[in-house]
Amino acid sequence: MVATLARELGVDITAVDGSGPSGRVTEADVRAAAEDDGDGESEEKGTKSAITRRDEGSDAGATAAEATGSAGAAATVETADRDRTLAVPATRRVARELDVDINEVPTEKTRDGEAFVEEEDVRAFVETREAAEAAPASAGAETAQPTPGGPAAGERVTTEAYKGIRRTIGNKMAESKYTAPHVTHHDTADVSALVEARQELKPRAEERGIDLTYMPFVMKAIIAALKEYPMLNSELDEKAGEIRYKHYYNIGIAVATDAGLMVPVVKDAENKGMLQLASEVNELAAKARDRDLRPDEMQDGTFTITNFGAVGGEYATPIINYPETAILGLGAIKQRPVVEDGEVVPKHTLPLSLTIDHRVIDGAEAAKFCNRVMEYLENPTLLLLE
């Protein structure tokens, strides 16, 4: 097993960049990391062993950290410059998610004479870095900075750094698009009955301090359809050569923020009522816009919804939130001309764009799933049976 090999070679597996499917760490990655550590040791003078320390009494059973390459005191400058840093696996995971080199995070904490970084240090470093990036350029700076009023006189091109959350989002989008062959199925639901149902229930929800949007109805319809078509609530494990069906429903809700698209996840949505879903979606969306989401609030999703209709769109080709295998895009609900009994009449309709991983899901199955979602949205009282 990869974990066993890592323990034998003294490698912190959480600090290894995986080259396998979905970023999984392979045996080759572990051996390469061990060789890199060995090369580094031979070139350093008077340094301690680079073998990863282990807290034998830790009930987590994971390495506490890697030893630093210097016996000096921890860095106290605004940006540290260490070769190695002690940190628990959870802290390293947060650093990777926030696109932070943990060796650059300042800290005055030490453990066994080595620099020791905790999660709060990583987050404080990110906040300081973002504040510095947001600050106006000093007088005489060579790089032109965009201003709220537009470019400076004579400026034809302005730039901003491609890093942080924007780069993290971009990398995930590229991984999804270049790994899973995308196919998008489009359809339109007549949601006149849904509009009426929401109008009737909205005042009741407001009495309880909850803003009832259409999203909880859509989530309920999706969960009901996923139970019938579990292939769309799955994950393809290429290394193991198996498709994993998820029999729980963690629904991700894509939220547009100033920093880019973020996807908080409503966990175990199948066990929650309409108002509870509404409250949780509203809370997570607000936290996303305020950049206040915890990493665990954006993990373990099984299916994602993206509502581009909120800005006026109708159809799109959403990119799958990999390693999930499907994502449903919602257009704007509004009145459109519909032919009914040979006459054109105005109806509230909802455009749907369902993107699937075609390695796992066939087009016919995607169409059937979408039809079932539409059935629940067009007849919302059916949701009472779920």
Give the position of tokens 């373990």. Answer: 300
Closest C-alpha among 23, 96, 16, 84 to residue 7? 16
Question: Chain centroid to CA 20: how far?
Answer: 19
Q: Residue 236: what are its φ and ψ, rounded to 5°?
A: -95, 115
Q: Tokens for 92?
A: 């390293």
Distances (CA, A) of 270 to 82, 201, 220, 223: 47, 20, 8, 7
Contact (Cβ atoms closer than 8 angstroms) between residue 86 and residue 111: yes
The beta-strand segments (E) located in the chain are 53-54, 63-65, 110-111, 114-115, 182-190, 234-237, 242-245, 251-257, 260-262, 265-266, 303-306, 326-330, 334-340, 343-357
Region of residue 331 (left: phi > 0; alpha: psi -120 to 50; beta: else): beta
CA 211/CA 207 separation, integer angstroms: 10
Q: Tokens for 377?
A: 């949205």
Catalytic annotation present for 182: no
CA 332/CA 311 separation, integer angstroms: 8
Alpha helical stretches, state H, 135-230: 164-179, 192-207, 215-228
Residues with Cβ within 8 Å of 156's Cβ and at least 6 positions away in sequence, in order, are none
Looking at 182, 186, 348, 358, which residue is catalytic?
A: 358
340, burial (CB in 10 Å: exposed 0-12, middle 13-18, buried 19+): exposed
| Catalytic sites, residue numbers | 358
